[in-house]
Chain A
Amino acid sequence: MRSKIAIAALAAAGLAAVSTACSSGNGFGSSSASSSAAAAPNKSALTLMFGSSGTAETAAVQQAAKAFTKQSGIPVQVVAASNLSQQVAQGFSGGTPPNVFYLDPLTFQNYAKDGVLDAYPSTLPNSGDFASALSQAFTYKSTFTCEPKDASTLALYVNTTDWQQAGLGAPPSNWTQLEADAKKLTTGGRAGLTIDQTHSGIDEFLYQNGGTVTNAAGTKVELDSSQNVAALTFLKGMLNQGIMKFPSQVGAGFSGQAFGENKAAMDIIGNWENGALQADYPNVKFKVYPLPAGPSGTHATLSFTNCWGVPKQQSNLAGAIEFVKFLTTSQQEMTFSKAFGVIPSLNTAQAQYVKTYPQYATFVQELAYAHPDIAIAGSTQALSAFDSALQQLASGNPASILKTAQQNLQAVINQGA
């Protein structure tokens, strides 16, 4: 008994001490020192946190940081995160987020909603130099809040060896031709076409068929339209004929692997596939074409991008913005492009990119009719449920898959509103 009371007292004292220590920490809720501190530029060190695709990217980012330090006198610590979103989240909860970090559109929505990001683009001269699909992905409540660092679009990869063997001519320019070509390219051990079995690999067909995912304001989900049902039904038809296969059906982790291993002759995937083919399947001969148009002639693709996130509350806001300004020059973006294959985000840099890599011009041209991949604050689980349903498209009912996703995503929006 005696010891129990003593333990209880000790526990209470300990808890009180710990919780006051926590609450007196640099919580975001109570402080008001943001703008005044930000205005004064200082030389305190910056931390850049990013998720690296490999050693090439890490080295390029480190080099850029060094060059910036030389120019500005502000030291930069570069941290290649093993789990970026988790480490950034830990930084925010501890009150010490990295000064600059890679930010994806979905997480961007979460942080923008919480009001923790600095809307710096308006202070930079290049904020008008982005394609609308890119700036739209980082616009929250009509404020462009975070500058895209790169750009990707989905395109049609064709294995030219298979193509010639099948005796095919021009690449498919509409769905009918896509289906016909896929049929001709299908052999016993090889599917004609593969796409990734997620919303990010499939939604372009919805747009091509005149459908959409949400209304322009992002307040209403419009997934269960008849155009979208028709688009999924078209894909289901190709799956059931065996002329299109999902990567998991051929034992591949993603569609690019199935394409590289020639388990599929065509693949709809983004330009990150170039690096994968170069590294793992250097003998595959391929060409990249724009995606075929839908039945009504509508061209559409999905665009993917990350941005340079800058927290509002931080040790050196002016320095961080200065750093982003340095990173988003045409020259620096082209350096990154040459180092690890990303497509620049700035229109001016893209013009240079197209000249240097004419074989990949398709990706840049497609930006004109690209739609950003779905990004709704708090929708991670609703989207993964949607992906789970899409995996079962071959045996599933397109209308009910879309209806369920519609309800789940609308519930997320309603909850956040």
Chain B
Amino acid sequence: MTVLARRDSRADPPAAGGIRARRPLFTARGREAAAGWLMSAPVIVLLLVFLVAPIAMAAWVSVSDWNGIGSPFASGVHAVGGRNYAALLTQPGLPQQQLGESLRNNVYYVIIVVPVQTALALGLAVIVSRKRLAGRGFFRTAYYFPSITSSVAVSILFLYIFGTSGVVNAIVGDLGGHGPNWFDDPNGVLHIILSGLGVTTAPGALANHGFIGLSWWDWLAGPSVAMFALIALAIWTTSGTFMLIFLPAIYAIPSDITEAALMDGANAWQRFRKITLPMLRPALFLVLTLGLIGTWQVFDQIYLISQGNPAGTTLTPAYLSYLTSFGNQQWGQGAAIAFILFAIIVVLAIAQRLIISERRAGGAS
């Protein structure tokens, strides 16, 4: 493989206009290029074997009728075209309904977790970056602790904290309230608010029309109470990690700019709004992108805590893909869900990049 690649790179003429010159192996640059390829070959091979090939195999499985027995490339496996995707996207039925539910749950999860964890991480970073804060090191470590704790341990901890007679409900009880059965309450938060306002049944327009197997009324349910506990968990664990990304970016802001602003009479809020935030834009982009990808792929907390229960309100596409593949042995459909999720993440990441870079261009002009 490497030999082949080397030969290719050598024979290939430079295409970008200018002088067409051969770069044989015995010129200095040619030798450098060959050595470069040779040295990076192990990594490239590893990437191909463990990254590109599995993705290609999964793509094939998503359009095949592979039943999980033997190799997906064996002769008994047939291509079925878009059938697996059609069952999920266009044919009414349980698979479509569950995909719709999982997407709805995950949309609310992302909408709440990403902004809150980013804001919290930024806030924490600003606080612990203050030079005059006593015990800075302690706080930095403390905030980072949830991130380095195993997600299994954190999940089990939250099972107790949000248990029926757990800490959260004990506090709610002390305040005179009555806490819900967190992990067993499938009611959507928006539905609960609406029923508080007297709206308990869906208007016909919302109940009778829908998208991917769910009525609009169900789409508007909001995250369930159970999902809310998972949202709290996600924010608690990830804020520290992202704080760590913001911290060096804050330290990198030249102090003379801040001093100049001070001389001009800018107050703390103005300095944060006009100096810190704009200069943190690259870090902000990184945090938002990582947050977006991480929240769309949420799996381990679901697997450990709720398994999609109650009433499918904590089902996410990643967990649904696992359930379909390993639980139901419908490997094609499971892989198809994974690729639908992949498409969603790619589209959102590109959209986010466009939005942020547009703002940057607008700010510069």
> Is the Cβ of A1 less than 8 Å from the Cβ of B16?
yes
CB of B348 to closest CB in A, whole Å: 26
Q: Which residues of A contact B312 (CB under 8 A)?
A: 384-385, 388
What's the minimum C-beta distance from B37 to chain A, rounded to whole angstroms? 7
**A248→B185 CA distance, assembly (Å):** 10
Indicate if A86 sits at the interface (CB-CB under 8 A).
yes
Binary interface profile of A, 371-409, with partner B (CB < 8 Å = 1, else 0)?
000000011111011011101100000000000000010
Known contacts: A2-B9, A2-B15, A392-B311. The answer to whether A381 contacts B73 by CB under 8 A is no
A17 CB contacts on chain B under 8 angstroms: 1
Q: How far is the CB of B99 from chain A (nearest CB, A)?
A: 11
Quick check: is B188 within 8 A (CB to CB) of the other chain?
no
Question: B75 at the A/B interface (Cβ < 8 Å)?
Answer: yes
| Alpha-carbon distance between A258 and B325 when the two chains are bound, in angstroms | 33
Q: Which of chain A's residues have a CB closer than 8 A to the CB of B69?
A: 28, 92-93, 114, 116
Q: How far is the CB of B141 from chain A (nearest CB, A)?
A: 32
Report if A18-B49 is in contact (Cβ < 8 Å); known contacts: A5-B8, A391-B309, A411-B93. yes
Residue interface bits A12-51, CB-to-B below 8 A is 1, else 0:
0111011100110111111000000000000000000000
Q: Interface readout for A140-171 with B: 1 if CB under 8 Å, 0 if not?
A: 00000000000000000000000000000000
B108-116, B232-240, B249-257, B326-334: which one contacts chain A? B326-334
Q: Tell me the bound Cα distance from A378 to B324 in angstroms.
A: 9
* A19 and chain B: residue at smallest CB distance: B73
Q: Closest CB-CB distance, B13 to chain A, in whole Å?
A: 8
Q: Is the CB of B76 within 8 A of A381?
A: no
Q: How far, in angstroms, from A89 to B311 measured CA to CA in the complex?
A: 27
| Contact B48–A15 (Cβ < 8 Å) | yes
Cβ–Cβ < 8 Å partners of A92 in chain B: 68-70
The verdict on B308 contacting chain A, using a C-beta distance below 8 Å, is yes
B12 touches A6 (CB 8 A): yes
B 49-70 to A, binary, CB cutoff 8 A, 1 in contact else 0: 1001100110000000001111
Residues of A within 8 A of B76 (CB): 27-30
Nearest chain A CB to B94's CB is how many angstroms away? Answer: 5
CB distance from B104 to the nearest CB of A (A): 15
Closest Cβ–Cβ distance, residue B203 to chain A (whole Å)? 20
Query: Which of chain A's residues has its CB closest to B60's CB?
Result: A19
The interface size bin for chain B is: 35 or more
Taking a contact as CB atoms closer than 8 A, the residue among A11, A114, A388 that contacts B310 in the complex is A388
A249 interfacial by beta-carbon distance below 8 Å: yes
**B44 contacts across to A, CB distance below 8 A:** 7, 10, 14
Q: How far is the CB of B27 from chain A (nearest CB, A)?
A: 14
Chain B residues with CB below 8 A from A116, complex form: 69
Given A6-B9, A9-B8, does the pair A251, B165 have CB atoms closer than 8 Å?
Answer: yes
A75-114 contact mask (Cβ, 8 Å, vs B): 1 or 0: 0000000000110010011010000000000010010001
| Residues in A neighbouring B310, C-beta threshold 8 A | 248, 388, 391
In the assembled complex, the Cα of A18 lies from the Cα of B15 at a distance in Å of 30
Query: When A6-B12, A19-B53, A382-B94 are in contact, do A86 and B326 touch as well, CB less than 8 Å?
Result: yes
> Is B294 at the interface (CB under 8 A from chain A)?
no
* Residues 17-55 of chain B, each 1 if its beta carbon lies under 8 Å from chain A, else 0: 000000000000000000001000000110011001100
25 pairs, CB–CB < 8 Å, chain A vs chain B: A5-B9, A9-B4, A9-B5, A10-B8, A11-B48, A13-B4, A15-B56, A28-B69, A28-B76, A29-B76, A30-B74, A92-B68, A92-B69, A92-B70, A93-B72, A251-B181, A378-B328, A381-B98, A385-B97, A385-B312, A388-B310, A388-B312, A389-B311, A391-B310, A392-B186
